[in-house]
Amino acid sequence: LTWLFLSLCLCVSAAPFSPDSAHAQADADPAEVDASALPLIGDLLANLPTMEELLRDPPVDWIVVKTLKDRVVIVEPIDPRPNTLETLPTRIEEFSATRRKPNESVEERQQRFRDLHYLKVFLENDENEYKIHVDEIQEIIHHEDQMLLRIDALLEENSFNDALQLIFTLYGLRPDWPGAADRHHRLLFKEAQSLREQDQTEAALVRLEELHALRDDYPELQAALGTTADVSSLSFTNFQ
């Protein structure tokens, strides 16, 4: 994949999408570019990594490049994360507000400024470092985001145990990852609904109470708590 990526860098956008000349060591002919060898984002989303793959395989991020028409460059986990595309412009603004370092030449400062406009990446099984200009990036789906997407699919299937395992794994990796807590809350609510439908009202009430402790303003939670508690109380009375 290295020669292909370098070819893309040379052919698609020479200025904004180029390899780091200090590290790139492949000799590629731009005429040999075959962007179709890169996966389409639609195909990746339609065939998400399984839970087993997400837990077993080395993590990777998906970078959708604008000029490649929905093609994806798969790279090792990038930095900064999360909110990469929001963080990079902030770094540029912060840099612009600073002064030149002591003993730093104008050219060195200009180079540092230019570098801030690129995202440094490493391809899978490739020790060379490459750069992608921020303006060329359409979307980044991090490894953690892929976990969230798989969790969503598991919740749709009511596979609550597997979804919970992935959520706790994500909490272990990045407890503050955007969307992780939302999936946990959704899981508790959906599982409570499922348990209620199976007449397991006591277990359903436990899940709702767990959710209440985490987020007491979850939509429809109060109504679900009241209804489930009433049914649970009625069932207990009938048993007596």
Residue range 192-237, pLDDT digits in tens: 999 999 999 999 999 999 999 999 999 999 999 998 887 655 444 4
Report CA torsion sign: 74, 79, 83, 89: negative
Whether the per-residue pLDDT at 30 is higher than 80: the answer is no
Q: Report d(CA 112, CA 215) in Å as an integer.
A: 44
Note the pTM of the prediction, 2 decimals: 0.81
- pLDDT reported for residue 128: 87
- pLDDT reported for residue 240: 41
Residue range 84-130, pLDDT digits in tens: 999 999 999 998 999 999 998 999 999 999 999 999 999 988 888 89
Residue range 230-240, pLDDT digits in tens: 765 544 444 34
Residue 139 dihedral angles phi and psi, to the nearest 5°: -165, 150
